[in-house]
């Protein structure tokens, strides 16, 4: 059975650490993906990264209309020039939202749960969520893009 995992809340330092690569896609990773998926759906999120549940490893999941996509060691290989502003929130920063400018289209490469390398082009909300979640792996939060006076209270 999947478990609902506790979410690490800003300004916890775990959210500011750089995450490490995953060396092996094993049972533990697959279980973690199930638990993270369950947690994301329960909390009504569009994406979730491993640091947000307390693990500084390079794993993100995205909630798409076709189901949950898990990306292991995701790398954005290209950010297209055209950008757009969209309102973002984060399960680690409850009840706080702000406008963030991101590339409309990106190329991404990652390892899937079958240990296969996947390359894809993403656009729109899917591209935005990937960029937001990959930022988490670098210790970057969406509020870092907001002016100082628009930061959430600590």
Chain residues binding Zn ion by CB under 5 A are 90
Q: How many Å apart are CA 49 and CA 136, to the nearest integer?
A: 7
Nearer to Zn ion, 7 or 25 (CB): 7
Contact predicate 65/88, CB 8 Å:
no
CB of 90 to Zn ion, least distance (A): 3
Smallest gap, in angstroms, from Cβ of residue 40 to Zn ion?
Answer: 11
> With respect to Zn ion, which residue has the nearer C-beta, 26 or 144?
144
Instruction: Give 29 or 90: the residue with its C-beta nearer to Zn ion.
Output: 90
> How many Cβ atoms are within 10 Å of 26's Cβ, its own excluded?
11
Which of residues 25 and 137 has its CB atom nearest to Zn ion in the complex? 137
Closest-by-Cβ residue to Zn ion is 90
- Which residues are the active-site residues? 133
Q: Where are the beta strands (DSSP E) in 56-92?
A: 59-64, 67-79, 83-90
Instruction: Assess contact for 108 and 77: CB atoms under 8 A.
Output: yes
Q: Are strands 105-111 and 117-123 parallel, antiparallel or unpaired?
A: antiparallel
Provide the H-helix boundaries in 11-120: 27-42
């Amino acid at each position: 059975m999947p478990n609902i995992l506790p979410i690490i809340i800003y300004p916890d330092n775990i959210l500011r650490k750089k995450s490490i690569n995953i060396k092996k896609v094993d049972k533990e990773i697959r279980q973690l993906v199930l638990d993270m998926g369950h947690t994301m759906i329960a909390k009504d999120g569009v994406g979730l990264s491993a640091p947000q549940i307390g693990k500084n490893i390079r794993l993100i999941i995205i909630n798409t209309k076709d189901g949950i996509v898990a990306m292991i060691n995701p790398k954005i290989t290209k950010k297209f020039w055209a950008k757009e502003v969209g309102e973002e929130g984060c399960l680690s920063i409850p009840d706080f939202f702000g406008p963030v400018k991101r590339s409309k289209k990106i190329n991404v490469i990652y390892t899937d749960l079958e240990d296969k390398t996947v390359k894809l082009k993403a656009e729109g909300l899917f591209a935005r969520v990937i960029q937001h979640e990959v930022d988490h792996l670098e210790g970057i939060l969406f509020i870092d893009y907001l002016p100082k006076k628009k930061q959430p209270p600590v």
